Amino acid sequence: MHMYKGHARAYTNIALIKYWGKADQQLILPMNNSLSLTLDAFYTETSVTFSSTFSEDQFYLDNHLQDRETTVKVSRFLDLIREKAQSQLFAKVDSQNFVPTAAGLASSASGLAALAGAASAALGLPLEEKELSRLARRGSGSACRSIYGGFAEWEKGDSDDSSYAVPIPSNGFEEELSMIFVVVNDQQKDVSSRDGMQRTVETSAFYDGWLATVPQDLAKARTAIANKDFQSLGEVTEASALKMHGTTLAAVPPFTYWSAESMRAMALVRQFRNEGLACYFTLDAGPNVKILVEKKNESTVLSKLQEHFSADQLIAAHAGPGIKIMTKEVEA
């Protein structure tokens, strides 16, 4: 009997300059570069065991065996790794999402990054960070950025080989930052991220405008990080989110991920700024609002938000580490 085990932990990331739209659906090549901050509050731990005794792949998420449809997606991703390792062994995948209950936060970035790391380790593939980032991208685009701690930029590339994330030197700037999550809704979305992206790329009258302005937003964000300029980073983060969400309103048919509570949270951020408290918002493909603030002002913003939202709707996060490949055991 041959059995190979690998274990990895990866943290989720939030894009400050958004990824919105695929140039290649199968390879998950994006239409534009994106820039993110990896966070410490939410992560996935995944163990992968390959064994000659298994007759099919099995996928357990939070200790629950997943259905065939969900498992097929994991199997297809494992096939990429099996092909690299020239292995035909089936696997048992055991994945735990450490995300606060009902946080309504996507775990695909941390989940696929952890799966890539654990499965590669199990089959003895000595992947460097760049190769691991490329591999994780094939499972979930944003997962390529979760290989790195702190700031990372996903280079869109134009092929499987050239599309991967790279770390952004920051001289510790990320350690000065906090991100407060305002959880307004954890229900199933009417329009998935995948479908929303595709509909926007294919039909939105505003999409060309979005693409045309991303390079200058990226340049502004890189400069802000290099200069530790919080205001500049906050401004471009908020602008990127608003532009991305603006494209959905001009899609056919139009849609939005915002709820009334999203609007209320965004209005509060603007109000806090008007009162002299520097903070900026961003949203992904969903209604929950994330607020970028300097650590020194985190408690002040939290206390102000607690006048409007319940304590369990508010989660503070800080910069998180890169992927950790924690164990590799080989048994015969």
**Average pLDDT per block of 10 residues along the chain, 332 residues long:** 91 97 97 98 96 97 96 97 97 91 71 98 95 98 98 98 98 98 82 92 98 98 98 98 98 96 98 98 95 98 98 95 84 60
* Terminal alpha carbon distance of the chain: 6
pLDDT of residue 180: 97
Task: Indicate the domain borders of the chain.
Answer: 3-172, 177-318
Amino acid at 87: S
pLDDT of residue 155: 98
Tokens of 264: 């209320």
Task: Report how far apart, in Å, the C-alpha atoms of 121 and of each of 7, 126, 128, 268 are.
Answer: 7, 7, 11, 46
Question: In which residue are the tokens 């799966």 written?
Answer: 115
Contact criterion met (CB below 8 Å) for 20 and 197: yes
Check if CATH label 3.40.1390.10 holds for domain 177-318: no
Q: Which of 282, 30, 220 is nearest to 143 (CA)?
A: 30
DSSP code of residue 124: T
Q: Which of 278, 30, 292 is nearest to 159 (CA)?
A: 30
- In CATH, which of 3.90.550.10, 3.30.230.10, 3.40.109.10, 3.60.21.10 is domain 3-172? 3.30.230.10
d(CA 101, CA 123): 33
Question: In which residue are the tokens 């603006």 written?
Answer: 246
- Fold matches, 3-172 and 177-318: no
